[in-house]
Structure formats: structure tokens, C-alpha cells
Amino acid sequence: MAKRNIAKDTARRDKNGLVQTTLCFAASARALAASAGPRPASASWGSSPFFSPPASSSSSASQKSSQESPPAPPVPPALPSEGSGSDTDVDTPPEPGLGARNVGAGLSDYEHIDLTLGGGTGPVDASGGWNASYVRMPCHEKNTVQERPGGPNFSRWEVVKSVLACPLQSFPDVKDAILAYNPTMRSSWDISGLGDYLRNHPWRDSLFSTTIPAIANLALRLPTLLPNPIPLLRAKENKAITLNQLQIACILANAFFCTFPRRNDTRKTAEYASYPSINFSTLFAGTKEGRCDPLKRAKLDCIFHYFTEVARRGQWANPGNVTFHRQRCSSFPTFASSTATFGPVAVCATGTIEDDAPGHLEVDFANRVIGGGVLGRGTVQEEIRFLISPELLASRLFTQRLEDSDAVIMIGAERFSNYNGYAKTFEWGGPHVDHTAQDARGRFNTRIVAIDARPYGPRTAGTQYTPQEMERELRKAYVGFAPSPCVESANGAEDRSPIATGNWGCGAFGGDAQLKALLQFMAAACHRRAITYFAFGNADFADELADIHAELMAKGVTVGELYACLVSIADRAWRDETVFGYVRRSLPRLRPPAIGLPPVSGETAKPQASIA
């Protein structure tokens, strides 16, 4: 296919008029966004810089109901239980003054805790937050340590204060400081990678004279910057936490020096076994030769650039705010009977979610453990997003492993770095100055939703076509795309800004890109949100996706009809047919006439990516 360097409008026309599917190529996605200008808000669909809201489909819906009756939709399959008890059994009643309220889209009762300086305070109980409902803070009086088993207990924070107050002028100084209050880890921790990085860094002198002392000073400000305990965002909760950027920098400074208690135990029975790691010890690990491997070197470049910029800002008089919302649905629609129709989609053959979709809700192709391998060896979409915006790392401190009805929406994280490459070729690409506007709450207008797809291996790839697995993925996208009560549009209405996504759950997770794209379209349609879909350089797939969406929209196919088609895949023999081909052949509205027209193009050809 010839390379395109301009936007190509692939809108298809039929007797019902223009179908709003836009195919964008190269850097033209941002050009379209810049040239489109502001559009009036729609009562039914979120606005997007790529297209106008579609016309009302009520008339076409009435026409199709009189023309033909769709097949009876199957009953949605039951999903495995995530635990005993109902949502009402496990949701903790919100405490007074914490902004609890009911929300729509099947979301559980919502609780927002503002921990920013000058804002509301979190709840304080008799334990001062030293219990299973809160982050166990390094500066808590009950945080004690033994120098040796059976020895006396002494305050761990006092040790932290004494060693971080000393000059840290070399890697041995940093290493000795970290191990002083982690004595049980002396024989098991390997932080030689950090040593190799610091010894060979071209800015070594600057790091030891300015950046590392600034990190230490910031870590020691923890009792002042965060006087109230941080609640955990636990499973089966619909809860949000807001912190300011200086508080987050303090959290990450403590993570750098590995001060968070009870977070080093990797046993399955450990208190935080279902939480991500937060201390940076794994990031500091070296190779067998004691070297810092190239990917971790790139990660440390991002981290040290972030701290260098924080140090440059000094006291940071007016830090912005960042909100972390664990969003949970306690009920879901019956997708099989949904009459929602598909809205506008812009398919971009090139470009990236973080660079080319301003004003969108960005989809983080997440791991169940938020951040994935960001502190290890992972360098794919989620890890890269966390590295160029390190404030997202704070979510690892308090977010329990995601369940099937959960998503995490992160609002306001500043971007500090650019990058080059991907996966094994990832490298730091220099500083990034974030010019994104801030909202009324002092947050950058950057919204990221973490939704974890189900992973499939070579032996389990076929299970993704079962009704139960499709229902799970559809529900996951549905809760992620639901308007968060933490975000409001300019006029105070629910936020229905367009969604920027791509090959969610594909690649290392083994998902079928055609299937996953359709499931995301269905979830977005249920919330009346437009989509900008990035195909990450695969122009052929971009063409195919734009074509199938145009057909779905032109023929007025409903979510329920497509759902019935997709869940029937597991019962059919179609080994050499793609999902798109199966949908075209099976959906009555897309099926070509039996007489007078040739088969739909591509159905008899050997597919590009057949399903195993």
C-alpha cells in the first residue's frame, strides 16, 4: 500500500447519507485536531476534533425495526465471582465530609478523598492509619525495625532521618543509606545496576551535588507534606484520592530510597501481595555482571530527569493536583439487548495516543497490577506512559490489583519526558515541556484510564472467542469508558470526551486485534463516546477497521446485534476466517444479497491474521 502523508476521508455514503468514519495517516491526526476548531457539545455524543457528532438515528432505527427483526439475542453468560458477598456487603460506607454521592452507568457509590494541602483531610482513626485500610507510612510511630532477629525494636523513621540527612556523595553512600533501614534485605537486594548507572552517567557530578540531595530532602518532608494517612484503593471500592504534585514527588522520593514498610515481602501471604511494588529496589537491580542494562538505564534517565526538574522547581509554590479514581461498576447493562448504535470513529494508521489525541481519554493497556513491569524490565505501552509521566507511579502505592469490574482513571499527571523506540528499543528522548491546560481543580487536562485485558498464551488463545471471555472484556471496557464523576465538562455535565485507544490486549497479551477493536467500539457506543483508534503503523488494519466500522454505522447495526453475532463465533466452524469476515457473513444487515452481487470482498481470500 502506498504511503499516505495526508488525511484521507474514507467516509462511505449510502442511501442514509454520510457515514462518519475518518481514516487518518501520519502526523495529520494532530493537524486535523488543530484545524477543526471547537465544536458545539452534542446532547448525545461526545465531541471530537476529528468529526462532528452524528445525526440522530431515531428515524433509521424505526425503519429497520419495520423491515426486519434481528435474531433473538442470547442471554449474557455469567462471569466468575470475584469473591463472596455482594457489592453492598463489601463497600465501606463513606465517612462524613468525604464527598460521597451516587453516580450513573451502574457505578457503585463514589467517595472522593482530597489530601492536598489546603483541601479536605482524610479520615483518621485511633490507629492513626496504621491498619489494613491505609498505606502504612514510613514516618508512622509504629513503623519499627530490628537490626537482627530477636533484637530490640527501634523507630525506622529515625534511622531514615539520620542517614538521609548525611551527605550522599557517592553510590556507596546511597547504598549504605538504603540498607541501613532495610537490614533484612542486605543479603538479598542487588542494587548494582544503580551503581553502574551513577558511575557512568555523563551528569554524575550534577546528580550527586544537586539531584540526589534534593530527593533525600524531599523524602524527609513526608510528615509535613502528608500529615494524614493515605487510604488504599481496594477491590470492590469506587473511591478517588487527590494529591498535589509536591506530595506525589515526596512519595516517589521515598520510593526511590525504599522507605515504605512491608512492601518488600514478595510471599503470596504477605500483607501487600495483591498490590504493586513501590520501592525502587527492583529498578536498581543489575545484570549478572553488575551492570545497568540498557532498558533500565533508559528508565533511570526518565526518573532522574523527573527528580532533576522537581529540584529545579524548588519549593514549588503552586503545584497542580492529580486524582486517582478506582472506578467500579456494581451492575452492567444487558449488552445482548442493547439498542445503542455506533458513533463516529477516527482510525489513525500512525501516531500515538499520548502525542496525537489532545483532549481525549487515553487508554492505558494495563496489567492487573497497575504499572505492570515499570519497576522491572517491562517497556511497552503502560510502562512507557508511567515513565514519561512518573507521577502515575504513585498509583502503585495504594491501588490493589484490579478485578474484572474495575478500572483506574488518573487525571492531571504532568508529562516530563519524550521517548524513542518501543519495547527492546525504548530509550529516553529528552525533556518534555507539558503545555496542556489545567482544569478548575488545578489538574492537567490529561485523563488516562487503566483497563487490563485478559492475557492469552498460545494454548489459550482460542478461549478469547468464547461468550464468557467476550463478556468479560466488554465489561472491562465498559467500566473504563464510563464517565468518571471526578471529571466534568466545561458546562458541568458528564464528561463524554472521545476515547483514544488502539490494540488493547494484543501483542504480548495475545488478543485478536479485530475482536478487541469491536468490543471497544461496543463499550464506547453504550456511553455515547466517540473513538480515535491508533493502529500504530499498520495501515492495512487501519483500512479494514475503518471499513467495518463504516458498514456497522451505515446499516444502523446495534450493539445487541453485534453482540449476538460475536458470541456465536464459538459455535461455528470458521478456522480460516477473520472476525471481520465472520461478522460480515453473519450479520443480516451486513450480509450481501444472495443473488445478483458477488461475495463481500476479502471473504474468500486468505486472511491476513486468521484465528487459531
Mean pLDDT over 474-478 rounds to: 98
Cβ density class 277-313: b for 16+ within 10 Å, e for less: bbbbbbbbbbeeeebbeebbbbbbbbbbbbbbbbbee
Could you tell me the three cell numbers for 339?
A: 439498542
Find out whether 320 and 416 touch, Cβ atoms under 8 Å: no
| 300 and 435 both lie in a single domain | no
Find out whether 64 and 26 touch, Cβ atoms under 8 Å: no
Selection from 363, 413, 365, 406 nearest residue 392 by Cα:
413
CA of residue 89 relative to chain centroid, distance: 28
Q: Which residues contact 244 (CB under 8 A, 6 or more apart)?
A: 116, 117, 319, 320, 321, 322, 442
In a domain, 449, yes or no: yes
| 420 and 484 both lie in a single domain | yes
Q: Could you give the C-alpha distances from 122 to 98, 109, 359, 404, 411, in angstroms and in order? A: 7, 17, 30, 27, 19
| Catalytic residue (choose from 364, 404, 471, 551) | 364
Catalytic residue check, 488: no
What confidence tier does 53 reach under pLDDT thresholds 50, 70, 90?
A: very low
The residue whose grid cell reads 478500572 is 407
Residue 65: predicted pLDDT: 35
What confidence tier does 35 reach under pLDDT thresholds 50, 70, 90?
A: very low
The residue whose grid cell reads 544503580 is 194
| 392 and 511 both lie in a single domain | yes
**Tens digits of per-residue pLDDT, 192-219?**
999 999 999 999 999 999 999 999 999 9
In a 13 Å sphere around the CA of 114, the CA atoms on its Cβ side amount to 15
Residue 343: give the domain boundaries: 13-75+333-586
Binding-site annotation, residues: 367, 381, 422
Q: How many angstroms separate the most distant Cα atoms in the chain?
A: 89
Asked whether residue 77 carries a pLDDT value surpassing 50, the answer given is: no
| 457 and 576 both lie in a single domain | yes
Asked whether residue 492 carries a pLDDT value surpassing 80, the answer given is: no
* Distance, CA of 498 to CA of 50 (rounded, Å): 10
* Distance, CA of 450 to CA of 593 (rounded, Å): 42
In a domain, 459, yes or no: yes
Mean pLDDT over 268-281 rounds to: 97
- Strands 361-366, 499-501: pairing is parallel
| 580 and 465 both lie in a single domain | yes
Residue 46: predicted pLDDT: 56
Residue 55: predicted pLDDT: 37
| 156 and 239 both lie in a single domain | yes
| 413 and 290 both lie in a single domain | no
To the nearest whole number, what is the mean pLDDT of the chain?
Answer: 83
| Catalytic residue (choose from 309, 382, 544, 551) | 382
Catalytic residue check, 364: yes
Binding-site annotation, residues for substrate: 367, 381, 422
Highest mean predicted confidence (pLDDT) among 40-44, 74-78, 480-484: 480-484
Asked whether residue 574 carries a pLDDT value surpassing 80, the answer given is: no
**Tens digits of per-residue pLDDT, 311-358?**
999 888 889 999 999 999 989 999 999 999 999 999 999 999 999 999
| 68 and 150 both lie in a single domain | no
Residue 612: predicted pLDDT: 33
The residue whose grid cell reads 548525611 is 166
- Strand residue runs (E) in 329-445: 345-348, 361-366, 406-411, 417-420, 427-431
Q: Is 515 helix (H, G, I), strand (E, B) or coil?
A: helix
| 289 and 367 both lie in a single domain | no
In a domain, 156, yes or no: yes
* Distance, CA of 304 to CA of 341 (rounded, Å): 47
In a domain, 601, yes or no: no
Find out whether 190 and 178 touch, Cβ atoms under 8 Å: no
Find out whether 221 and 311 touch, Cβ atoms under 8 Å: no
| 280 and 340 both lie in a single domain | no
In a domain, 116, yes or no: no
Measured on CA atoms in the order 183, 186, 188, 194, is the torsion positive or negative?
positive
* Distance, CA of 34 to CA of 49 (rounded, Å): 8
| Catalytic residue (choose from 114, 196, 356, 383) | 383
Asked whether residue 406 carries a pLDDT value surpassing 90, the answer given is: yes
DSSP annotation of 403 reads -
For residue 9, the cross-strand partners are none
Mean pLDDT over 384-389 rounds to: 99
Asked whether residue 145 carries a pLDDT value surpassing 60, the answer given is: yes
Catalytic residue check, 111: no
Could you tell me the three cell numbers for 151?
A: 533484637
In a domain, 198, yes or no: yes
Main-chain phi, psi angles of 160, to 5 degrees: -55, -50
Give the CATH number, domain containing residue 463: 3.40.220.10
Asked whether residue 5 carries a pLDDT value surpassing 90, the answer given is: no
* Distance, CA of 560 to CA of 582 (rounded, Å): 16
Find out whether 371 and 392 touch, Cβ atoms under 8 Å: yes
Asked whether residue 424 carries a pLDDT value surpassing 90, the answer given is: yes
How many domains does the chain contain in total?
2
DSSP annotation of 212 reads H
> Given 3-state DSSP classes, what are the helix, strand and coil percentages for the chain, each rounded to the nearest 5?
35, 15, 50
| 256 and 361 both lie in a single domain | no
Asked whether residue 17 carries a pLDDT value surpassing 90, the answer given is: no
In a domain, 3, yes or no: no
Q: Which residues contact 1 (CB under 8 A, 6 or more apart)?
A: 539, 540, 543
Amino acid identity of 504?
Answer: W
pTM above 0.75, yes or no: yes
Highest mean predicted confidence (pLDDT) among 58-72, 145-159, 209-223, 573-587: 209-223
For the chain, what percent of residues have pLDDT higher than 90?
Answer: 69
